[in-house]
Each structure stands twice: as structure tokens, then as C-alpha cells.
Amino acid sequence: MRIRGEAVALLGLAGAGLTFWLGMTWAPSVSIDAFKAPEAQRIFYWHVPSAWAAMLAFGMLFIGSIFWFFKRSEWAWRLHVASSEAGLATGLMCVWSGCIWGAAEWGVPWDWTDIRLNTFAMLTLLSLYLVLGRRSQPDGVETRDTFAAFGMYGFVLVPFTYIATRLWQIRHPGPVVATSEGSLNSDMGTVLLIGAISFTVLIIGHVMAGMRLTKLELRLEDLQTRYEEESR
Amino acid sequence: MGIIELSKVTVRRGRSQVLDGWSVSIDSGEVVCLSGENGCGKSTVIETAAGLVSMEKGSSEISGQLIRDSEGRRGRTKFGLCLQDDCIMGDELVGERILDAAGCDFDVSSLLKTWGLEHRIHDRVAMLSGGQRRRVAILSGLVPAMVSSEPVAILLDEPDSGLDEDSVEKLAQTIRDLAAGGHAIIVASHNSKIVESADRVIEFPFTETKGDPVKGKFSLLERGVERKANIGHRLNLRTLSGLANNGIAGLLTLGAMLAMLNPEQLEGRTLTAFILAPALTAGLCGNSIHRLTLENRAYAWWNTISAIPPNALFHSLITCGAITVLASTVTGDFDVKLIAAGAVLGACTEAIVGLLSHATLRLSRPNAVMVRLLTPILILPWALVVDTLSV
């Protein structure tokens, strides 16, 4: 039996919905001493898994870009296309939820001096650039090479984003799981784990569906060209 | 080894493979004409030889210097190039363009006279008719050989398009004269006069016939001193495009902030941000010369001259510095460190935006991609500088 990306994505979406519900209603509240807006902290259960999924998508974007650029693999180009769309979707989920949380917790939705915030937003904008840019160009080796190059160089921001809160913590909090300073309450950890798994399934489904769609689009384009050649 | 050497070149353009392991070698004193129907790959050969097209396999060498190979290695040497597009910015001057192409000073007016352009020597190219502009483009492709006693490669892509009969005849004669001087010429054309001037005709897809052209006579133009192009700075002074684009954006930002804020009440971080914001806005407008090079695909021609895209970085430093001085004067907080920071930040921002735009030039519609989506990251270094300098 062939597993369709759409079905996997729907499963992930259901898990993401469950995470949202558990985070809002079931997960324990945080201490009012630790947060200025403790109730807004519940956005965390959406914010962190979506950031995780976005990072996965950016990783796949890098792999797709590199294999297209150096190996000219068709699957890699399809991976590039699908993962840039997935990265845009999950990146926007993360940035948007972060802005809402930031507005409640810090009093401002954004801080232009925070390196984690800005490099992550940049990655999301890179995905937006790739998605919109690709739609504006006819498909061809020049288009693919240019956007693959942006995908490869853009990946430099991923390690920057990862280490930003460890090296230059300005406003965004540092890591909360698997650190030496203790970990999350177990119920909180459970919800976060469900979220991480659900978003991973969602992103895999999204990329599978996206790759299939791109394949169909390219096939349609080939058929159109062949039709035009034969009708000449 | 030939002056122009394409070795086992495989090139893809769009979704099709145009050349597949194709080789050609053009010796000193030889003229090779590429002929064939539209879209058969003639222009691809010329652009590949000039290093403008990336190749899947193979390499291109001119005068023994590697121009480009499939591994991405690039090199540059002196050669003449005239593409299907004229590749001239409208604000370049006729005489100046020919001198830039030659890379040295020489008696340009007598050359222009033979091509009926002497009276246009000081005119901007934008003021010329289509045919005159084409003649300037052809001359800038031919002149590197005209001023050289050493063999030089000349690459011409449909140079006869838009030319009258007399000009085509003159072009065919000039090609023969240059070949007599030992220069190697590759020309893509359908025109019978140009085809007849070739020693070899390659009919795409690749049947080769020998030609029997009449011999020409080469007369070397006397070279003057070497010439540096500095095209970006010259164009910026002529068009004031840096001031009109970047400068105005900075001034408008300052004006808008003055309408909303009272500078006398600002202090600390807000004051520093107020002073440095106009320079950032000016920089975010990007390299104004880059926009000019998009005209007639001029960037492609300039790319064969230098690896550094045409720019007016020195002028940007002055513009951004001046805007920061103005903002400082308005606030009454005159700090040399801040002014230097404004100038450098603005110029660096402009250079980065310019490079981002430059990276999209291989696309078939470079104007259609929204490269500005990537510029918000540039606020981060600006904000960090504001934070640092306001401590």
C-alpha cells in the first residue's frame, strides 16, 4: 500500500490540534513568579514544536539544494520545493506565535537586537523568498541553480539560530529541555513531546505531498511541451 | 591550442540540453561563423565561451586563460564581446564606452568617424537610434582587437541584426581585417555577407564547411595609456542615481521622524537610533548602479570585464555619511563616531542588498524576484550598532 503525503499530513495536523488542546487545557500552569504573563506561556506548546518542524524543513531544504546543485538530482529539486513551502508554513506558525507570546510576556512583540529572533525570521523570509521567487520564474536550470544557491547559503543561519540563545542571550529564553539547569515538569514534557512528534509527522506529510505535487506539475509541463512540439 | 577553446562543453538552458560534450577550437587569424535556425544554440556557444553561462561539463578558455569550467572556476582576460542585446547602459557615453572596451586611450573619434558616429561621441547611448546603438555595441566588441598587436578573441552574437546593408558590409570587411591581424573571431549570424567572411561555417547541429573569404588588411590603432573603467562612479556622478534613490530615501526617513518626534527630547538609545536610521534606509535601497546595469543586459558585458559588479561604494559612504551628519545636526548631538558608523553601515547595507540582487541575474526574470524579502536581517546589525554606541 502506498502511503499518501496528504494522509500523513492530516495525521500530523490532528496531532498538532491535540497538542494545542492539551497545551491550553490540560498542561499545568507555570509559576506566576517565573513569568510576567503565565497564561500566555501556554503558547509554548505550539511555538516550540513549530520551531522544531521549521528547523527540520530548513534542514531538508539544505539537503535538497545541495543535491540539486552538485548532483542534479530531480528528487532533490522536488525536496527543495516542498521543504521551502513546509519551512514557510511552520516558520510563520513559530514567528506568529512568538510575537503573540512576546507581546504578552515582554510587552513588545519583537526585538530587533535579539539574534535568535532575527535569524529565525530570516530563515522564514528565505522560505517566502524561495516560494514566491520560484513562482515568478519559468522552470529551468538557471532558476533551480539560483534558488538552490540561496537555499544552501541560507542554511548558514540554522546553526546561528541554534546557538544564538547559548552565546548571546538577549531576550529570547534559552533551552528548556535536556539542559544542566533542570528540565520541564513531566506533564509539560509529555505535551511538548506529543507536539514535537505531531509536527514532525505533519512536516513529513507536507513534504511528501509537496514533492508529489511538484512531480505532477513538472510532468504536466513536459506534456504541454510535447503537445506543442507534436502539433507544430 | 586555439585562441578560443571550448572543450567538451555540456550546457543546459531552461529545461533542455543545448550542447552535449561539444568542442570547438578557433586559431589565431581564423573566423568561424555559427549558423542555424533560431534556438539551435548559437548564442549559447558565444555566451559559454565568454563565461556567462554555467556548464554541466567542460571548460572555456580564451588566449590560454581559463574563463569558466564546470567546477565553477572563473577567470578573466581581455577579449571582445558583442551579444544579441546591446549590453550598454543608456547613460554611458558613446566615446567613453569604446574606450572602456579598449581598456586604453586611443584616437576614438577617427574610429567613430568610419562608422558614422563621430558626431555622437559625447552623447549618451540612450539618445541614439537602434541602429546607431548597435554599431556602438559592435565597436565595443571589436575594439579590443583593433588596439592589440597580440591575437585577441572576438565573440559576436548576431552583430548584423538591426544594421543597414552598408554597415553589414563594413562589419564583414572589418572582421576580415582583424583576422588578417591574427585575431580569432567567432560570430553567430544568418547574414550571407557575414557567413561569406568566415573561414569555417558551422551549421547547427554541427555540419562544418570550409569558406573561401577574401583576405583583409589589418591596421593597428595606436594605443595610449591604460584606462581604468570606474564605470559605477562615473555613472553615479552623471545620473546622480545614488542621491536620487538612496539619498532621498534617507532624507524622507529623517523628515518622517522629525514630523513624529521632537529630537530635543530624545536621549540614549532612541537618539542614536534616530541619527542612524536615515543611513540604514538609504542603504536598504540597494546599489543604484545595479539598477542601471539591468538596462539592455549591460551587467553581462561588464561581468566579463571585472568580477566586481559596477558600483559607487565610495559615493555611498559620502551620501550615508552626509545624511548622518544632517540627522546629527538636527538633534544637536554631533559625534564623529556616530557619523562614521552611519556612513559605513549605510554603505555596507547598500553593498549587501546590491550583492543579493546581483545573485539573481542568472534568472530569466531577475526583476520579478522579490530580493527585498531578505533584507530585514540587515536591521539586526544596525540595531546592535545602535545598542553598542548608545551605551
CATH code assigned at B160: 3.40.50.300
**Any domain includes B120:** yes
Q: Which residues in chain B touch residue A119, judged by CB atoms under 8 angstroms apart?
A: 377, 380
Beta carbons of B213 and B200 less than 8 angstroms apart? no
Same domain, B60 and B173: yes
**Any domain includes B358:** yes
Q: Write the single-letter amino acid at B223.
A: R
In this model, does residue B213 exceed pLDDT 90?
Answer: no
What is the span of the domain harbouring residue B289? 231-389
Q: Which three cell numbers stand for residue A62?
A: 539544505
Last residue of a domain, one of B210, B240, B274: B210
Q: What is the pLDDT of residues B297-310, one digit of tens each?
A: 999 999 999 989 99
Mean of per-residue pLDDT scores for chain B? 92
Helices (H) and strands (E) in chain B, counts: 15, 10
- Domains in chain A: boundaries: 44-174+182-222
Choose from A85-89, A156-160, B286-290 the range with maximum mean pLDDT.
A85-89
What's the confidence (pLDDT) of residue B198? 92
**Any domain includes B223:** no
Is B376's CB within 8 Å of A119's CB?
no
Quick one: closest CA in A to B369, which residue?
Answer: A133
Q: B247-250: long-range contacts at Cβ-Cβ below 8 A with a sequence spacing of 24 or more?
A: B247/B282, B247/B319, B247/B322, B247/B323, B249/B281, B249/B282, B249/B284, B249/B285, B250/B278, B250/B279, B250/B281, B250/B282, B250/B319, B250/B320, B250/B323, B250/B346
Q: Could you tell me which residue, B175 or A158, shows the higher pLDDT?
A: B175
Q: Which three cell numbers stand for residue A6?
A: 496528504
- Residue closest to B306 by CA, chosen among B210, B390, B228, B200: B228
In a mutational test of the B interface, the residue from A117, A146, A147 whose CB has the highest number of chain B CBs within 10 Å is A146
**Chain A CB within 8 Å of residue B370 CB:** yes
Cα–Cα dist A125/A144, whole Å: 18
State mean pLDDT over A112-128.
91
What's the confidence (pLDDT) of residue A180? 57
State mean pLDDT over B312-321.
94
In this model, does residue A86 exceed pLDDT 90?
Answer: yes
State mean pLDDT over B200-220.
83
In this model, does residue A182 exceed pLDDT 60?
Answer: no
What's the confidence (pLDDT) of residue B267? 86
**Any domain includes B314:** yes
Same domain, B85 and B49: yes
Q: What is the pLDDT of residues B10-26, one digit of tens each?
A: 999 888 888 999 999 99
Cα–Cα dist A44/A21, whole Å: 12
Is B365's CB within 8 Å of A137's CB?
yes
Q: Which residues of B225-249 are buried (b: 16+ CB within 10 A; e: fewer)?
A: eebebebbbbbbeebebbbebbbeb
Quote the number of domains for chain B: 2
Q: What is the pLDDT of residues A12-69, one digit of tens each?
A: 999 999 999 999 898 888 777 777 778 888 898 999 999 999 999 999 999 999 999 9
State mean pLDDT over A156-177.
76
Distance from CA of A99 to the nearest CA of B (A): 16
In this model, does residue B272 exceed pLDDT 60?
Answer: yes
**Any domain includes B217:** no
**Any domain includes B218:** no
**Chain A CB within 8 Å of residue B15 CB:** yes
What's the confidence (pLDDT) of residue B283? 96
In this model, does residue B233 exceed pLDDT 70?
Answer: yes
Quick one: closest CA in B to A225, which residue?
Answer: B15
Same domain, B192 and B157: yes
Last residue of a domain, one of B163, B178, B210: B210
State mean pLDDT over B24-39.
90
What's the confidence (pLDDT) of residue B214? 79
Same domain, B180 and B42: yes
- Residue closest to A141 by CA, chosen among B68, B70, B15: B15
In this model, does residue B391 exceed pLDDT 80?
Answer: no
Is B363's CB within 8 Å of A126's CB?
no
- Confidence label for A183 from pLDDT (cuts 50, 70 and 90): low
Instruction: Give the three-state DSSP class for B319.
Output: helix
3-state secondary structure chain A: CCCCHHHHHHHHHHHHHHHHHHHHHHCCCCCCCCCCCHHHHHHHHHHHHHHHHHHHHHHHHHHHHHHHHHHCCHHHHHHHHHHHHHHHHHHHHHHHHHHHHHHHHCCCCCCCCCHHHHHHHHHHHHHHHHHHHHHCCCCCHHHHHHHHHHHHHHCCHHHHHHHHHHHCCCCCCCCCCCECCECCCHHHHHHHHHHHHHHHHHHHHHHHHHHHHHHHHHHHHHHHHHHHHHCC
Q: What is the pLDDT of residues B68-97, one digit of tens each?
A: 999 889 999 999 999 999 999 999 999 999
The alpha carbon of A85 is separated from its chain's Cα centroid by a whole number of angstroms, namely: 9
Q: What is the pLDDT of residues B106-128, one digit of tens each?
A: 999 999 999 999 999 999 999 99
Instruction: Give the three-state DSSP class for B136.
Output: helix
The alpha carbon of B20 is separated from its chain's Cα centroid by a whole number of angstroms, namely: 28
**Any domain includes B86:** yes
Same domain, B190 and B325: no
Q: Which residues in chain B touch residue A72, judged by CB atoms under 8 angstroms apart?
A: 56
What's the confidence (pLDDT) of residue A177? 61
What's the confidence (pLDDT) of residue A188? 84
Of the candidates B14, B370, B377, the beta carbon closest to that of A138 is on B14
In this model, does residue A164 exceed pLDDT 90?
Answer: no
% residues pLDDT > 70 (chain B): 100
Q: Which three cell numbers stand for residue B305?
A: 570585464
Quick one: closest CA in A to B384, which residue?
Answer: A113
Cα three-residue angle A194-A198-A199, rounded to 5 degrees: 120
Largest CA distance in chain B: 84
Side-by-side strand order, sheet with B65-69: B16-26, B4-13, B57-62, B65-69
**Any domain includes B69:** yes
Same domain, B201 and B335: no
- Confidence label for A201 from pLDDT (cuts 50, 70 and 90): very high
- Confidence label for A4 from pLDDT (cuts 50, 70 and 90): confident
Cα–Cα dist B196/B185, whole Å: 14
**Given phi > 0 = left and psi -120 to 50 = alpha, else beta, which region is B87?**
left
Same domain, B328 and B383: yes
What's the confidence (pLDDT) of residue B323? 96
Stretch among A172-176, B234-238, B365-369 having the lowest mean pLDDT: A172-176
In this model, does residue A169 exceed pLDDT 70?
Answer: no
- The full DSSP string for B9-29 is EEEEETTEEEEEEEEEEE-TT
In this model, does residue A181 exceed pLDDT 80?
Answer: no
Is A129's CB within 8 Å of B359's CB?
no
Q: Which residues sit opposite B81 in a β-bridge?
A: B155
Largest CA distance in chain A: 76
What's the confidence (pLDDT) of residue A36? 79
Quick one: closest CA in A to B386, which residue?
Answer: A113
Sorted by sequence, the CB contacts under 8 Å of residue A163 that are 6+ apart come out as none
**Chain B CB within 8 Å of residue A223 CB:** no
Distance from CA of A38 to the nearest CA of B (A): 29
What's the confidence (pLDDT) of residue A178? 58
Q: Which three cell numbers stand for residue B263?
A: 529630537
- Residue closest to A173 by CA, chosen among A93, A92, A105: A105
What's the confidence (pLDDT) of residue A175? 65
Sorted by sequence, the CB contacts under 8 Å of residue B6 that are 6+ apart come out as B22, B23, B24, B25, B45, B48, B49, B58, B59, B60
Cα–Cα dist A40/B4, whole Å: 68
